[in-house]
Amino acid sequence: MARTSDNGLRAEVRTAARLRAVDATREIVCSRGWQAVTMSALASEIGVSRQHLYNEFGDKRGLGEALLECETDRFLSEVRDRLGEHRDDLGEGLAAAAIGVLRSGARNALIRAIISGATTTDSELLELLAVNSEPVLAHAIEPLTASVCDIHDVPPRRRRDVSTIVEVMIRLTLSHLVQPSGTVERAEEHLRLTADALARSTVPLHA
């Protein structure tokens, strides 16, 4: 029993240190950019060894992936709420969720800092978000697929269809967020039309 308690305590301490590292990284990126983040400075700021950070994240790129995963979690709650507000219309729910992310992202300090880094040599986070975005996608697709399936009572045999729809909407929303090519209104209309078309192509999901 004591060993189990000790293991649980160590896990809690490790999780707390990881969250402190990610939060501190976010503050640095928002104020000074990704290039200002170093393992040495971060370790000193949160009171752990540099080796601890390397053990936890692997390298600076791994830290960046953890930062983006944590930021993704901030959006997932809002997305689930939007989906839940449109239980009778999958297309409307997908559109509302995507447009909500687009609007929130435009005001998000970290997203703005990442996008501004594209004009400098400080573009690694943008690459992780827009080009090599598999960690972000993997972190978002599965939980949102589960949410859609729960909200719309989707049977297991249609889960793959839902996963495809969710992935398309996430990729499209990310594209409009980090690489805008027109007006916000046009981007929102694009998201709305795509969500409606995807939903119509799979209705009824419970068939």
Query: What secondary structure does DSSP assign to 64-103, as a single string?
Result: HHHHHHHHHHHHHHHHHHHHHTTTT-HHHHHHHHHHHHHH
**pLDDT computed for residue 115 by the predictor:** 86
Percent of the chain with pLDDT over 90: 71
What are the tens digits of pLDDT across the range 37-74?
999 999 999 999 999 999 999 999 999 999 999 999 99
Q: Work out the angle at residue 117's Cα, subtended by the Cα atoms of residues 73 and 181, and round it to the nearest 5 degrees.
A: 80
Gap between the Cα atoms of 150 and 204, Å rounded: 15
Pick the more confident residue, 147 or 135. Answer: 147
Domains of the chain: 60-202 (1.10.357)
Overall average pLDDT of the 5-9 stretch = 58
**Taking 60 as the threshold, does the pLDDT of residue 97 lie above it?**
yes
**pLDDT computed for residue 180 by the predictor:** 85
Lowest mean pLDDT among 13-27, 115-129, 179-193: 115-129
**Taking 90 as the threshold, does the pLDDT of residue 120 lie above it?**
no
**Taking 60 as the threshold, does the pLDDT of residue 172 lie above it?**
yes
DSSP assignment string, 149-196: HHHTT--GGGHHHHHHHHHHHHHHHHHHHHS--S-HHHHHHHHHHHHH
